[in-house]
Structure 1
Amino acid sequence: MAEFATIARPYAKALFGLAQEKNQIESWLGGLKQLAAAVQQPKVATLIEQPETTSAQKAGLLTEIVGVSDAELQNFVSVLAEQKRLQVLPEIYAQYQDLTLALNHTQRAVIHSAYALTEAQLADLTAELQQRFGTSLEVTTRVDSELIGGVKVEIGDQVLDLSLQGKLNALYAAMTN
């Protein structure tokens, strides 16, 4: 979805800049989350793809379904509908969320582990990662049994692979080269 990321970036930045001016960063984040979730619903996605429905009707129905009452956010949805970019809303939400986290000097981290981590393990690992990367982290976890053991951490565009599978792959590459 690199194309969606490229398309979404200017929209997310523009909306974030306006949200900063209006002091609406958090409330618009919630509205964008609801809009992004709605667009991913099969019935709403079908509605968005219908060529016989006008962009004004699509924007109106989407904001009505979600219950968006803020005029600027409604206008934003209308602009997206006119430009035929409503399907990019989930990526716009993700980038807007990243901008919000960056404003608070926080980064998003995804921790992949072979088994579910306990609360204590997650707290210890999060503390170590925050110290290592020098920033506070918003952590989500995923279980990936293919790792065999250990963890793989994704923070922004950096990947820290401390998994058994990663070490086996590195050993295999060293032996075959």
Structure 2
Amino acid sequence: MSDRDPLQGVPDELKDWHQGALDGDPAVCAAPQPMQPGYPCIHSTGFHELHRDVYGRTWPNRPEEPLYVARKAPVVDGMVTVETGDHGPVHVPEPSWCVGLHPAESFQVDIEHQGVETVAAIPTLCHGIVPALGVSLVQRPFSPTAPQVHAVVNMAEDFHAFSSTGLDIAAGLLVDHAAELRHMARQLAALEVQS
């Protein structure tokens, strides 16, 4: 039996989401992966079309669809290659915060770096746990209007019922999530200084 850590080389942030999925953290999707017990989905509980494990393997959110695996793009000397329809293979620097999934794109302008999404998962009386204010870092380096690193925030338009206790819990979860937003703001400020 090998003493090697099976998650060796996986970024700490992804390991944290993986552990959260295993531990039943309500902010993590944790959907089981077919044929890969012990490697659940590490996405937040916000909507996602594909589940993804700590290694970047993906599977459909709808079980009637066939299983397929998204490959993590290899990084060579800090660069990743993305196949595009209009410019062929395009080499771009791979930031450390990017999760590393780069599917082929029809257009170079659509190449995107995406960070791990953090979300406030709030329990409600009417809909169970509801994700709120999902936030992640994103960069489209070839965008003509906004090529810089920026944060995207997912804000769903819906109303949810709370008891007084539930509302108090929601307030605490939002305070915790505000700390995540502040952390990401500092990370983004450091990236803005670098560019």
Smaller-chain TM-score bracket: under 0.3
Higher relative contact order (CA 8 A, sep 6+): 1
Structure showing greater Rg: 1
Whichever structure has more helix as a proportion of its residues is 1
Whichever structure has more strand as a proportion of its residues is 2
